[in-house]
Amino acid sequence: MNVNHTIKGIIFDLDGVIVYTDEMHYRAWKHIADRIGVEFNRDINNRLRGVSRMESLEIILENAKPVSDAEKLALSDEKNAIYKKLLESLSEKDVDSDVRRVLRELKKRNIKLAIGSSSKNAGFILKQIKLTDFFDAVSDGNNIEKSKPDPEVFLKAAEFLKLMPSECAVVEDAYAGIDAAKAGGFYSVGIGAASAYDKADMKIHRFSEVLKLATLKK
C-alpha cells in the first residue's frame, strides 16, 4: 500500500485486540445452538470473527430448518442478553498491562485513537474495562449498516476522527477486518490470527509493536 501520509490516527478492533471476549461469545452462542438443536463448535465459532451478530446467526443456522425473521431476531436478542450478562464479569484486570501502557503512550504522541467494532456492546465493554477515556471516537454496530469485510465501520471511525483513511492505521485480528481495512484505503495491521494474513500491510505479534505506527511514514 502506497500512502504519502504520516499515521495520525489508529483504529482498533475491540474483541481480540484490546480485550478478549471470544469465550463469552462462544458460550452465549453455544447456549442458543444447544437449545434449538443446532451443531455449534469451535471451528464454526472461528468463522464468526469480525462478523455482526445477525450474520453470525445466519452462519450458525446454515444447516438448521428454516427460521422466520421474527425468530431470528428473538434468537439474536437472547444471545445478546446472555453475552451481556457474561460481560458483567469483565474488569480492568482483563486488559493486558501492555495495552494500557501503549494507549497512554500513543495519546502522549498526539495520535488519535478510535474503536472500529461490529459489536453493539463496544461502549459497554470499554466502560467495564475502564478504557473509555483513551478513545477519541467509537464506531460500532450501533452506527453502521454493513459489517466487515465492508469498510463502513472504519470509514465512520475515520470520519469521527476527522481524518482521511490514508492517514489512519487499522489494527485487526480477523481476516475480515483486514479485508475491510484494505477496501477502505487504510493501512492494515494484522495481530493474532491476522498476523498470518498475507494481505496485511504490517504483521505484529505483540501489542507493544503498535508503537511503531506512531513514527511510520509511508
Q: Answer yes or no: 13 catalytic.
A: yes
202-209 LR contacts (CB < 8 Å, sep 24+): 202/169, 206/98, 207/17, 207/96, 207/98, 207/99, 207/102, 208/98, 208/101, 208/102
Strand 187-190 relative to strand 168-172, pairing = parallel
Q: Answer yes or no: 34 catalytic.
A: no
Tell me the C-alpha distance between 139 and 120, whole Å: 9
Tell me the C-alpha distance between 164 and 151, whole Å: 13
Residue with cell 493474532: 192
Angle subtended at Cα 154 by Cα 218 and Cα 207, rounded to the nearest 5 degrees = 65
Contact, 111 vs 71, CB < 8 A?
Answer: no
Contact, 186 vs 10, CB < 8 A?
Answer: no
Catalytic residue positions, numbered:
13, 15
